[in-house]
Structure 1
Amino acid sequence: MPDINYSPLWLSFKTAAIATVIVFIIGVFLARAIARNNFFGKSVVEAIFMLPLVLPPTVVGFGLLVIFGKNGPLGTMIENLFDTQIVFTWNAVLIAAVVVAFPLMYQSASAAFQQYDPNVEKAAYTMGASKWKVFWTVSFPIAWPGLLSGLVLTFARALGEFGATLMLAGYIPGVTNTIPLTIYFEVEAGNTDTATFWVAIIIILGFSAILWLNWWSKRNLLRYKNNAR
Structure 2
Amino acid sequence: MKTSQNYWGVPKWVLAIALVGALFVVLPLLAMVVRVNWGQFIPLITSQSSIDALLLSLRTSTIATLLCIILGVPMALVLARTTFPGQRILRSLVLLPLVLPPVVGGIALLYTFGRQGLLKAPMNFLGIQIAFSTTAVILAQTFVALPFLVLSLEGALRTVGTRYEAIGATLGAGPTTVLRRITLPLVLPALVSGAVLSFARALGEFGATLTFAGSLQGVTRTLPLEIYLQRETDPDAAVALSLVLVAVAIIVVGLANRVGSNSRLGPNVLS
Note whether the superposition's TM-score is higher than 0.5.
yes
Q: Which residue of 2 aligns with 1:187?
A: 231
Residue 39 (str. 1) matches residue 106 (str. 2)? no
What is the CA-CA distance between 1:197 and the residue it aligns to? 1.8
Residue 86 (str. 1) matches residue 142 (str. 2)? no
What is the CA-CA distance between 1:117 and the residue it aligns to? 2.9
Residue 199 (str. 1) matches residue 242 (str. 2)? yes
Q: Tell me the SS of whatever aligns to 2:205.
A: coil
CA distance in 2, matches of 1:158, 1:73: 24
What is the CA-CA distance between 1:215 and the residue it aligns to? 5.1
- TM-score w.r.t. the length of structure 1 is 0.90
Structure 1 residues 45-100: Cα deviation after superposition (integer angstroms, max 9, x where no partner): 0000000110100111111111112111224421221x231111111101000100
CA distance in 2, matches of 1:166, 1:220: 38
Residue 99 (str. 1) matches residue 143 (str. 2)? yes
CA distance in 1, matches of 2:186, 2:251: 25
Which residue, 153, 159, 168 being the options, matches 1:124? Answer: 168
Q: Tell me the SS of whatever aligns to 2:119.
A: helix
CA distance in 2, matches of 1:76, 1:160: 32
What is the CA-CA distance between 1:114 and the residue it aligns to? 1.2
Structure 1 residues 1-36: Cα deviation after superposition (integer angstroms, max 9, x where no partner): 235121111100110111101111110011112212
What is the CA-CA distance between 1:213 and the residue it aligns to? 4.0
Q: Tell me the SS of whatever aligns to 1:15.
A: helix
Structure 1 residues 103-148: Cα deviation after superposition (integer angstroms, max 9, x where no partner): 0010011112111131211111111111000001100000101111
Q: Which residue of 2 aligns with 1:210?
A: 253
CA distance in 2, matches of 1:85, 1:139: 39
- Given that 1:75 and 1:85 are in contact with CA atoms closer than 8 Å, whether structure 2 keeps it comes out as no
CA distance in 1, matches of 2:215, 2:247: 23
CA distance in 2, matches of 1:109, 1:90: 28
CA distance in 2, matches of 1:50, 1:66: 20
CA distance in 2, matches of 1:97, 1:161: 6
Q: For 1:13, give the aligned amino acid.
A: L
- TM-score w.r.t. the length of structure 2 is 0.77
Stretches of structure 1 that go unaligned for 5 or more consecutive residues are 225-229
Higher Cα Rg: structure 1 or 2?
A: 2
What is the CA-CA distance between 1:186 and the residue it aligns to? 1.3
CA distance in 2, matches of 1:144, 1:65: 34
CA distance in 2, matches of 1:213, 1:15: 19
- Bigger CA drift: 70-79 or 116-125? 70-79
Q: Tell me the SS of whatever aligns to 2:129.
A: coil
Q: How many residues align?
A: 220
Q: For 1:206, give the aligned amino acid.
A: A
Q: For 2:60, give the aligned amino acid.
A: T
4+ residue runs over 6 A deviation: none
Structure 1 residues 139-160: Cα deviation after superposition (integer angstroms, max 9, x where no partner): 0000101111001111111111
Q: Report matched runs for 1:1-229 at 5 Å.
A: 1=40, 2=44, 4-5=47-48, 6-81=51-126, 83-188=127-232, 190-214=233-257, 219=261
Structure 1 residues 181-229: Cα deviation after superposition (integer angstroms, max 9, x where no partner): 10111112x1122212210111111223334444555x469x89xxxxx
- Given that 1:75 and 1:86 are in contact with CA atoms closer than 8 Å, whether structure 2 keeps it comes out as no
Identity %: 37
**Aligned-pair Cα RMSD in Å:** 1.8
Q: Tell me the SS of whatever aligns to 1:115.
A: helix
Q: For 1:203, give the aligned amino acid.
A: V
Q: For 1:43, give the aligned amino acid.
A: R
